[in-house]
Structure 1
Amino acid sequence: MNSRGPSLFNLVSITLGFAFLYLPIVLLVIYSFNAGRNVAIWEGWSVKWYVALWQNKQLIDAAWVTIRLALLSATVATVLGTMAAITMVRAGRFWGRSLFSGMLSAPLVLPEVILGLSMLLLFVALDFSRGFWTMTIAHITFTMCYVAVVVQSRLVTFDRTLEEAALDLGCPPVKTFFAVTLPLILPAVLSGWVLAFTLSLDDLVIASFTTGPGATTLPIKIYSQVRLGVSPDINAACTILIAIVTVGVIIASLQMKRAEAERVRAERMAAAGR
């Protein structure tokens, strides 16, 4: 067994890798507090661009659209993704299972450009007016599979003897699900919701294909303004978006760890009961 620590080559590789990934983000956050308007020249610390951001009506409206879109799509995707996960784990072998599984996991591997273009062609064929609701449908479609994967991983290791005990005591199946199953898989469900919310919050490609008049999200607004030049209030808006996504990822990670701990605890209780 090798008791030595990581080699110098590994440390340098890890340091360069993290610097390549996160140094631009760190610089963006730092320059969002720049006192000067020129984003390339540091002129001291200031929060005036965050104050100016709240006076930018276009960015505020875009942020409100983004939050409403993320909340609605994440909630619906969580319900549908949980149902899909239960079907995949509990329904056994049924006709069309392979097709259903493939369609459920397709958004995980398909490029976002392909997903966005396919959704656009669908809405054009159905003569849907593109706007907030078309973006919502598109976001539900591509975030639902992430929820299904997270919940399915929890259901695979779920101890069904707890449900069987409730059913033996006369509890109806529906009540058993809400009283026994759902509380035990709730951390995974919440993790799926946070993940879906985060993915919808910072999506640009799919929203660009399915958006319409009066439904501009914050990533689209930022991208359109950055093409004309980076302004300090854009740095402030990006910093806030990074903070929200970071908090969402941390919450999802903590929920997944909690779900794993509860799974281990339930297995130990079931083993002790035997």
Structure 2
Amino acid sequence: MRRGWFLPLFATLGFGFLYAPIVSLIVFSFNESRLVTVWGGFSTRWYGELISDGQLLEAAWVSLKIATISASLAVVIGTLAAFVLTRFGKFHGKLMLTGMVTAPLVMPEVIIGLSLLLLFVAMEGMLGWPAGRGMTTVIIAHSTFCAAYVAVIAQSRLRDMDESLEEAARDLGAGPVRVFFDITLPVIAPALVSGWLLAFTLSLDDLVIASFVSGPGASTLPMVIFSKVRLGVSPDVNALATIIIGIVALAVTVAGVLLMRQSKRAR
């Protein structure tokens, strides 16, 4: 009898602890008062203020572009790394490659940001590229550490995949490239979608690494919000956060529906 209420109770408390701040943020985005913690009545005033705040909108647009490109590059790099580590058996340097792929998962972001900054400075001095710090360097940095997460997710899916499907395709005359795009890629597609969403979220949320490798004209949304926090958060930040939450929730819902449909078709 105790197990009947124990688990639901603690699940409710756990989810409430996670999502109560988000709900509070959404509610206070419709607050009339300028104070973010004092309710002054319902109003959409701060959504109108947000439209006229060019700095926040520009930072949000930069963050979305960086997150989209970085997540896409991370999926490509992470999938290739996972495929090599899973399907190529033992080879010279595999242990080192495995360590290099998984290192960003446990490396402090301060160390990653500082090392990438030193790398970009050295590359600019020797090769003349990248010229200064900006969106390009942020995309390279985010793709680097996000690829590790994608590689781990793709590896787990490749290990569980039934290789007899690929072997049957090869017996029927399909080449390696054809097998990959017609058999392997559709099977691991749910893992790649999950990896892309995770990489997109990590890139959109990153503050520490972007602070090291960004420059003028490449201030991301977390950097702008962090600078505003020092002077006090204005309610238009709540409005922007609410819009982003809505977009992310819609994207996750659509991705979940598509993955469920694909899973049903596979069954």
Partner of 1:76: 73
- Unaligned 5+ runs, structure 2: 125-129
Could you tell me which residue of structure 2 aligns to residue 269 of structure 1? none
Give the match for residue 142 of structure 1. Answer: 145
Q: CA deviation at 1:243?
A: 3.2
Q: Which amino acid aligns with 1:150?
A: I
Residue identity opposite 1:5 in structure 2: G
Tell me which residue corresponds to 2:176.
173
Cα distance per residue 1:215-250 (max 9 Å; x no partner):
011111111112111111011112223334444555
Output aligned runs, 1:214-229, within 5 Å.
214-229=217-232
Aligned AA (2:57): I
Please tell me the residue identity of whatever aligns with 2:61: W
| 1:66-107 CA-partner distances (Å, limit 9, x unpaired) | 111011111111111111110011010011111111110111
CA distance in 2, matches of 1:183, 1:11: 36
Measure the CA separation in 2 of the matches of 1:254 and 1:226. 37
* In structure 1, C-alpha distance between the alignment counterparts of 2:8 and 2:168, rounded to whole Å: 52
CA offset at residue 257 of structure 1? Answer: 6.4
Structure 2 CA distance for aligned equivalents of residues 215 and 142 of structure 1: 19
**243-252 or 136-145: which moved more?**
243-252
Aligned counterparts of 1:17 and 1:26: Cα–Cα separation in 2: 14
Q: State the SS of the aligned residue for 2:180.
A: helix
Give the superposition deviation at 1:256. Answer: 6.7
CA change 1:79–1:4 in 2 (3 A) is closer
Asked if the contact 1:187/1:258 (under 8 Å) is kept, the reply is no
Return the letter of the residue paired with 1:243. Answer: G
Find the counterpart in structure 2 of residue 34 from structure 1: 31
User: Structure 2 CA distance, aligned partners of 1:25 and 1:81?
Assistant: 31
State whether residues 151 and 189 of structure 1, in contact with CA within 8 Å, keep that contact through their aligned partners in structure 2.
yes
Match of 1:5 in 2: 4
Q: Contact 1:188 / 1:255 at 8 angstroms: preserved in 2?
A: no
Specify which of 189, 196, 199 is matched with residue 196 of structure 1.
199
Residue range with higher mean Cα deviation, 200-209 or 23-32: 23-32
**Identity over aligned residues, as a percent?**
55
1:20 Cα deviation after fit: 4.0
CA RMSD of aligned residues (A): 2.3
Find the aligned partners of 1:151 and 1:250 in 2 and give their Cα distance: 21
How many residues of Structure 1 are paired with residues of Structure 2 in the alignment?
261
Structure 2 vs 1, CA of residues 245 and 119 (structure 1 numbering), >3 Å: closer, same or farther? farther
Cα deviation for residue 61 of structure 1 reads 1.0
Match of 2:127 in 1: none
Residue 57 in structure 1 maps to residue 57 in structure 2: no
Equivalent positions of 1:224-235 (< 5 A) are 224-235=227-238
Q: What residue in structure 1 maps to residue 163 of structure 2? A: 160
1:116 lines up with 2:119 in the alignment? no
Q: Say if 1:34 and 1:3 are closer, same or farther in 2 by CA, change over 3 A.
A: closer
In structure 2, do the counterparts of structure 1 residues 17 and 174 end up closer, same or farther at CA, with 3 Å as the change threshold? closer
Task: Tell me the CA shift for residue 259 of structure 1.
Answer: 7.3
For residues 195 and 262 of structure 1, do their structure 2 counterparts lie closer, same or farther at Cα, with a shift above 3 Å needed?
A: farther
Give me the TM-score of the superposition, normalised by structure 2: 0.88
Which amino acid in structure 2 is aligned with residue 27 of structure 1?
S
Using the TM superposition, name which of 182-191 and 83-92 deviates more.
Answer: 182-191
Aligned letter for 1:113?
V
Contact 1:81–1:145, Cα closer than 8 Å, also in 2:
yes
